[in-house]
Each structure stands twice: as structure tokens, then as C-alpha cells.
């Protein structure tokens, strides 16, 4: 058995809202019901449950079991993936591994968080002692540090970051599930003039924490065929790296674990960056998109701005980028936010993108970013390449 012996057979997504008036388990129930209706699976056939991390459930050490109980799911395999924004993509890989190992046959991967309405996080690491007292507060400051270092090493044309922001915002305008507050057109000039958050990170560089849920069903390709499910999406390459170069005292913070994870994913898939039809990178900050382009080999390290300048990232462009708007322009559903770009990639490969459907559906590349360490880039990097089958 291998990664590609498995299949995503259905996807579901709620609307992303600024602050939910619905409980996180209610959102999860909606996702489950939609997936069962879409795929024809009976509830009793779901024998695996894998959740992404959730700020709502952060204080509950029995989060996966409690969620299974609330959804009345009796399963043979249950897990919460705790690699931050990498968790949804990582959940797909773990679902495939569990199926391959014979631990279960059909897995609900559920990504739900209502961090805006109910956050229960209690971080226990370096921040309280080493960064917050010095004023380095939160992700914008951390990515401001990375941006400044990148600019020092290579130079940084902020209008090129604005080009990415505008491309994603244009896509969000076509996405009815995107947070309504964000569905307003912007220009590169709007980006450059937006309020500074943590110099040089601007308001339009940054995600807005929202609430929402999404999910998929993963089963073996053989089981999908038995069920008569001909429209499927198959993962053909996956790479994951956590705490890249952690043993070294001083590192280049403009290098990330996506370099290693990407090489593994491309090798498994038998593809190169030039083969990728659409790109759905994790986008908590715009600079993260540029860094991932470099680390994944779309261009050389330090050449991201030139790469952006020479290409179109529109739906009908050279490399369609986050065609649902990404998290920055659709809203970040807390730690379930990594599911937003994953679901959009699956939607595109199912050919169900509607007004934002891309023409080339040979494959899609999805990434994740999770956690912010001390004096490094980010904790976890994941890369997955998907292709349609059937």
C-alpha cells in the first residue's frame, strides 16, 4: 500500500464568519452531514476520525474523543493532529497511513475551530519568558522580523507582495464562503498604504482570525470503486518537516522546512515545480507565500520578487494562486485554517470551482505552516501534491 492507493472522495465547507454564533460541534455536524450526503457513505461506515488542532478545544485533553462522542461516531482510529496550520494537510497523510496499516477503512478528516468566538489556548513555551517581555508580540512581529531579514539579504519589492495580495483578493470576490468583511476589491496601492502592524508587515499582509469548518472523507481507492465513487482526488506526494535546523545555534531565517518537505513530495509524485497546475500555499502572511515559492523550487532563493513580477497568479494565469482567496482574503478559521486552501484545491480538482474554476486540473500543490519558534522561521512545514482520478 502507498499514499496514492487512497482517495479523497468528498469535501465540505461552511461559510467563514468573523465571529460564529454556532458551537464548534454544530459546525462539525454540518460538515459530517454534508459529506455523508455527498458521498453516499452511511454514518456507521466512518471508522476513523482525525481532527486538526483547535483553539476552541485547546483546553480539552480529550478533544478527539469528545468530538466523536458529540457526533455519535464509533470509530476504530481517532487522533487530533497538533502541528498547527499544517494539521489539515497532515491529517490527510495520517488518514492514508492509518488506512494502509489496516487500522480503519474510511476516515473523516474534520477541521473546525471557533477561535474568534471561543479560544481556550494556554501556550506553555518560550514566549512568556523570552519574547513577550521584549515586545515581540504575536505572529505579525515574528513575520516582521523574517521580512526585515529577507529584505536585508536580498532586497524586497513590496509592490510584488501587493500583487499576490490583489490576486488572492480577486479570487475571494468569487468565493461565497469567504468572510463577507473581506470580500472587497483592493489594489496594489491599497496594499502599500494599508496600516502598518509590525513594520514592515501591513494590515493587508495579515490574516484575520475567523470561525468556520471544513472536512473531507478519505478511503482506499478500492473501497471508493466498490462504492461507485468515480470522482476522486488522490495524494501522490507528501513531505513534512518540523523544527528545521533546530540543532543549530544560528540559522538563516529565510530558509524553511518546505525545502526538505517539498523535495520529498516532488520525488514521490514524480513531478517538478514547473509541472504544478495550481498552487495553494498556506498564507498567514504574504511574505510566507514568497518564501514558499523559493523553498519549493519555483524560483531560486532570493529571486521571489522577480518570479512574481514575471507571472500571473489569476485563475487563468501562469500559476493560479489560492483560487478561493486564501486565508488572508477568505479568513483564517483558527487552527483549522489550513483546511481552507486544502478544500479549495480538492474543489478545483473535482472541477467544481464554478466562476473561479481553473482550466488545468492535472494536479494541485497544497502546503501548511505550523507554529512560530524562537529565532527561527516556523515550526512545521508540510507539502502535498494532489491529482484527480477517475
Give the mean pLDDT of 29-36.
98
C-alpha cell at position 173: 470576490
Residue 1 confidence (pLDDT): 47
**pLDDT range class, residue 263, cuts 50, 70, 90:** very high
**pLDDT range class, residue 240, cuts 50, 70, 90:** very high
**Sheet with 106-113, side-by-side order of all strands:** 77-81, 48-52, 106-113, 212-220, 6-13, 232-242, 380-389, 364-370, 279-280
**pLDDT range class, residue 18, cuts 50, 70, 90:** very high
**pLDDT range class, residue 103, cuts 50, 70, 90:** very high
- Does domain 3-121+209-226 sit in CATH 3.40.50.800? no
Give, in order, the Cα–Cα distances in Å from 51 to each of 54, 57, 67, 111, 192: 8, 11, 9, 6, 37
Q: Which of 205-214, 230-239, 243-252 shows the lowest per-residue confidence on average (mean pLDDT)?
A: 243-252
Residue 128 has pLDDT above 80, yes or no: no
Q: Assign residue 51 a region: left if phi > 0, alpha if psi is -120 to 50, beta otherwise?
A: beta
Task: Give me the long-range contacts of 186-191 (CB less than 8 A, separation at least 24).
Answer: 188/159, 188/162, 188/163, 189/162, 191/158, 191/161, 191/162, 191/165, 191/166
Residue 159 confidence (pLDDT): 98
Q: pTM of the predicted model, to two decimals?
A: 0.96
Structural contact between residues 316 and 170, judged by C-beta atoms closer than 8 angstroms: no
Percent with pLDDT over 70 in the chain: 99
Amino acid at each position: 500500500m502507498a499514499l496514492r492507493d487512497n482517495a479523497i472522495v468528498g469535501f465540505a465547507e461552511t461559510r467563514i464568519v468573523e465571529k460564529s454564533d454556532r458551537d464548534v460541534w454544530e459546525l462539525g455536524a454540518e460538515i459530517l452531514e454534508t459529506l455523508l450526503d455527498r458521498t453516499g457513505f452511511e454514518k456507521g461506515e466512518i471508522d476513523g476520525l482525525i481532527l486538526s488542532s483547535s483553539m476552541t478545544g485547546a483546553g480539552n485533553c480529550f478533544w478527539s474523543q469528545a468530538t466523536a462522542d458529540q457526533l455519535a461516531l464509533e470509530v476504530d482510529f481517532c487522533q487530533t493532529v497538533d502541528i498547527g496550520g499544517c494539521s489539515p494537510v497532515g491529517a490527510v497523510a495520517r488518514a492514508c497511513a492509518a488506512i494502509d496499516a489496516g487500522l480503519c477503512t474510511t476516515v473523516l478528516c474534520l477541521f473546525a475551530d471557533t477561535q474568534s468566538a471561543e479560544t481556550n489556548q494556554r501556550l506553555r513555551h518560550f514566549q512568556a519568558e523570552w519574547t513577550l517581555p521584549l515586545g515581540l508580540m504575536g505572529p505579525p512581529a515574528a513575520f516582521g522580523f523574517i521580512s526585515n531579514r529577507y529584505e536585508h539579504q536580498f532586497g524586497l519589492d513590496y509592490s510584488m507582495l501587493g500583487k499576490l495580495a490583489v490576486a488572492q483578493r480577486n479570487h475571494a470576490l468569487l468565493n461565497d464562503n469567504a468572510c463577507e468583511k473581506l470580500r472587497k476589491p483592493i489594489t496594489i496601492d491599497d496594499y502599500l498604504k494599508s496600516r502598518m502592524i509590525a513594520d514592515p508587515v501591513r494590515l493587508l499582509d495579515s490574516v484575520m482570525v475567523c470561525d468556520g469548518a471544513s472536512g473531507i472523507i478519505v478511503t482506499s481507492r478500492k473501497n471508493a470503486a466498490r462504492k461507485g465513487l468515480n470522482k476522486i482526488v488522490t495524494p501522490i506526494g507528501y513531505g513534512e518537516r518540523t523544527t528545521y535546523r533546530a540543532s543549530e545555534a544560528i540559522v538563516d531565517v529565510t530558509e524553511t522546512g518546505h525545502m526538505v518537505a517539498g523535495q520529498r513530495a516532488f520525488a514521490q509524485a514524480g513531478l517538478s515545480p514547473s509541472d504544478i497546475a495550481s498552487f495553494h500555499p498556506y498564507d498567514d502572511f504574504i511574505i510566507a507565500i514568497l518564501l514558499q515559492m523559493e523553498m519549493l523550487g519555483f524560483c531560486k532563493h532570493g529571486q521571489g520578487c522577480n518570479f512574481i513580477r514575471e507571472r500571473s497568479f489569476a485563475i487563468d494565469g501562469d500559476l493560479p494562486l489560492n483560487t478561493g482567496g486564501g486565508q488572508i482574503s477568505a479568513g483564517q478559521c483558527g487552527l483549522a485554517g489550513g483546511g481552507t486552501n486544502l478544500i479549495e484545491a480538492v474543489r478545483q480538482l473535482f472541477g467544481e470551482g464554478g466562476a473561479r474554476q481553473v482550466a488545468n486540473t492535472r494536479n494541485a500543490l497544497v502546503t501548511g505552516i505550523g507554529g512560530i519558534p524562537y529565532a527561527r522561521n516556523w515550526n512545521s512545514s508540510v507539502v502535498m501534491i494532489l491529482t484527480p482520478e477517475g
